[in-house]
Structure 1
Amino acid sequence: MESISGALGPLFLLILLGAALGVKRWPSDTFWPSMERLIYFVLFPAMLVSTLATADVSQVPVTRLALVLLGAMAVFGVLLWRLRTQLKLTPGAFTSVFQGAVRFNTYVGVAGAAALHGSTGATTAAVAVALMVPVVNIMCVASFVAAGTLGNASLGKSVMALIKNPLILACLLGIGLNLSGIGLPGWSHDTVDLLGRAALPLGLVAVGVALRPAALLRVDRGVLATNSVKLVLMPALVLVLAWLVGLDTVSRDVALLFAALPTATSAYILARQLGGDAELMAAIITGQTLLAMLTLPVWLQLAGG
């Protein structure tokens, strides 16, 4: 437990630093939205390209990892949809609960995998991102469509945003460079690698800045349902599936890490754009991020024990 806490502790401290900066609104109200765009469109894609273009992906059990991660997402996605009547939530609130249960914070996931297992963990995490990001985005947009919350929002714009998602494009580019044997020749490797190194610390601080402490005052059946799935049931199922398919230690830890991650801060933007309950989404994001600081080490300790 001490080694796990030692690996994840610095990541949580960066998130808390971001939360403090967010409360103080330092250096300005406009700084962090611009920084988030730089991280999302440039730095984090650079990290994914750098990792996937040069890594020995053959060492990652891609098929079994996909079965575990995508299988668990599908199970709880279907379960939540079947229970939507019993949850007695408005369509907008349900989409926020759905996002809270299936989305994951990529910055925390990749940083955590690298902290726990070095370059091997980072490579496995990048593969997990390549597998999960397209699927989770399709699932979430589909939940808005099925719930009927789009209103005046354009489905076409949502689909185009999915197609142009920088994380998806970065994964495709990195895998393409790897499979073609081109890699990142010459100075391009060091340049892209340097850009990528800035993504994780800045991304973690940005996660903290996006938290809304006042949203913690909202505790209802939607918050309880989504937190139960994301922080308890999802990691439990992934741990069982990882054991059943025989994942190695690194892949198991990465799969468990991604299953138990708090939901993505970008879920708030999607909730606002597509008619979800944005205030509920803020409460879910903030609560899960803070609770995950306690639950993540416990799950990883259980897996290692």
Structure 2
Amino acid sequence: MDGVAQALGPLFLLILLGALLARLQQPGGDFWPRMEQLIYFLLFPAMLVATLAEAEIDQVPLGRLALVLLGAIGVLGLLLWGLRHRLGLAAGAFTSVFQGGLRFNTYVGVAGAAALHGQAGATVAAVAVALMVPVINVLCVTAFIAAGTLGAAGLRTSLAALTRNPLILACLAGIALNLSGIGLPGWSQDTVALLGRAALPLGLVAVGVALRPPALLRRDRGVWAANLVKLVLMPVTVLTLARLLGLDPVSRDVALLFAALPTATSAYILARQLGGDAELMAALITGQTLFAMLTLPLWLRLAG
């Protein structure tokens, strides 16, 4: 437990630093929205490319890892959709619950994997991102379509955005460079790696900046359902599948870490743009991020 706390503690302190900076309105202006764009479109994709292009992917149990992560996402996605009418939520609110139950905070996941298991953990985390990001994006957009919150223009915009998602493109580029044997030649390796190193600390601070404490006052069925799925049922399902399929300790820990992560802060933007309940999404992001500071170490301790 001490090892887990030592690894994850600094990450949570960076998130709290971001919350403090937001409270103090520092640096002010539109600094943080622009910084988030820089992280999302340049720094984090650089980190994924640098990791995947040089990674020993053949050391990652790709098939079993995919079964564990994507199997859990599929099962719980179907569960949430099956509970749609029982929850009695409006269409927009349900799409926020769906996102809150399935999406994960990539910054915290990759930083946590590297803190727990070094380069081996970072490699498994990059592979996990490559597996999960496209699937979850497609599922969430499908939920908006099925719930009827999108018009024709919104549907076209969403599908076009999927093809331009920088994380998906970075994963494809990194894997292509790896499989081709080209890797990152010459100075490009160190240059891209340096860019990537800036992504995690800045990304964690940006997570804290995005928190909305007043949103915690919202307490309805949607909040409880999404939090139960994301912070309890998803980790239980992944841990069960990981043990059944015999994942090695590093892959098991990283899979469990990603399963127990809070939902992504980018889900708020998607909710606002595609007809979801943005206020509910803000409550889920803030509550899950704070709760995960307690639940993540507990799940990892249980796995160990």
TM range (shorter): over 0.9
Number of the residue aligned with 2:108: 108
Structure 2 SS opposite 1:190: helix
Please, which moves more after superposition, 145-154 or 87-96? 145-154
1:264-279 residue pairs with structure 2 within 5 A? 264-279=264-279
Between the aligned partners of 1:160 and 1:128, the Cα distance in structure 2 is 23
Q: Which runs of 4+ in 1 moved over 6 A?
A: none
Amino acid at match of 1:74: G
Between the aligned partners of 1:55 and 1:145, the Cα distance in structure 2 is 37
Between the aligned partners of 2:72 and 2:82, the Cα distance in structure 1 is 16
Work out whether residues 153 and 273 of structure 1, in 8 Å CA contact, stay in contact via their aligned partners in 2. no
1:24 CA displacement: 1.5
Between the aligned partners of 1:24 and 1:272, the Cα distance in structure 2 is 25
Query: Which segments of 5 or more consecutive residues in structure 1 lack a partner in the other structure?
Result: none
Superimposed CA distance per residue, residues 199-226 of structure 1 (whole angstroms, 9 cap, x where no aligned partner): 0000000000000011001111100000
Aligned length: 304
1:57-76 residue pairs with structure 2 within 5 A? 57-76=57-76
Number of the residue aligned with 1:141: 141
Number of the residue aligned with 1:286: 286
Work out whether residues 231 and 260 of structure 1, in 8 Å CA contact, stay in contact via their aligned partners in 2. yes
Superimposed CA distance per residue, residues 185-211 of structure 1 (whole angstroms, 9 cap, x where no aligned partner): 110000000000000000000000000
Structure 1 SS opposite 2:77: helix
The answer to whether the aligner puts 1:22 opposite 2:26 as a matched pair is: no
Amino acid at match of 2:255: A
Amino acid at match of 2:294: L
Percent pairwise identity:
76
1:175 CA displacement: 0.4
Between the aligned partners of 1:285 and 1:82, the Cα distance in structure 2 is 23
TM-score computed with the length of structure 2 as normaliser: 0.99
Between the aligned partners of 1:153 and 1:23, the Cα distance in structure 2 is 37
Number of the residue aligned with 1:205: 205
Amino acid at match of 1:199: A
Number of the residue aligned with 1:31: 31
Superimposed CA distance per residue, residues 96-136 of structure 1 (whole angstroms, 9 cap, x where no aligned partner): 00000000000000000000000000000000000000000
Aligned-residue CA RMSD in angstroms?
Answer: 0.7
Taking structure 1 as reference, are residues 3 and 60 closer, same or farther at Cα in structure 2, changes over 3 Å only? same
The answer to whether the aligner puts 1:82 opposite 2:82 as a matched pair is: yes
Between the aligned partners of 2:142 and 2:220, the Cα distance in structure 1 is 24
Number of the residue aligned with 1:244: 244
Superimposed CA distance per residue, residues 149-199 of structure 1 (whole angstroms, 9 cap, x where no aligned partner): 114752111111111000000000000000000000110000000000000
Please, which moves more after superposition, 20-29 or 131-140? 20-29
1:290 CA displacement: 0.3
Between the aligned partners of 1:152 and 1:48, the Cα distance in structure 2 is 33
Amino acid at match of 1:119: Q
Between the aligned partners of 1:228 and 1:221, the Cα distance in structure 2 is 10
TM-score computed with the length of structure 1 as normaliser: 0.99
1:295 CA displacement: 0.1
Superimposed CA distance per residue, residues 13-36 of structure 1 (whole angstroms, 9 cap, x where no aligned partner): 000000111112211130000000
Structure 1 SS opposite 2:64: helix
Number of the residue aligned with 1:121: 121
Structure 2 SS opposite 1:173: helix
Between the aligned partners of 1:208 and 1:216, the Cα distance in structure 2 is 14
Between the aligned partners of 1:10 and 1:284, the Cα distance in structure 2 is 23
Amino acid at match of 1:143: A
Amino acid at match of 2:34: S
The answer to whether the aligner puts 1:131 opposite 2:131 as a matched pair is: yes
Between the aligned partners of 2:90 and 2:152, the Cα distance in structure 1 is 18
Number of the residue aligned with 2:196: 196
Query: Which segments of 5 or more consecutive residues in structure 2 lack a partner in the other structure?
Result: none
Amino acid at match of 2:278: A
Work out whether residues 153 and 274 of structure 1, in 8 Å CA contact, stay in contact via their aligned partners in 2. no
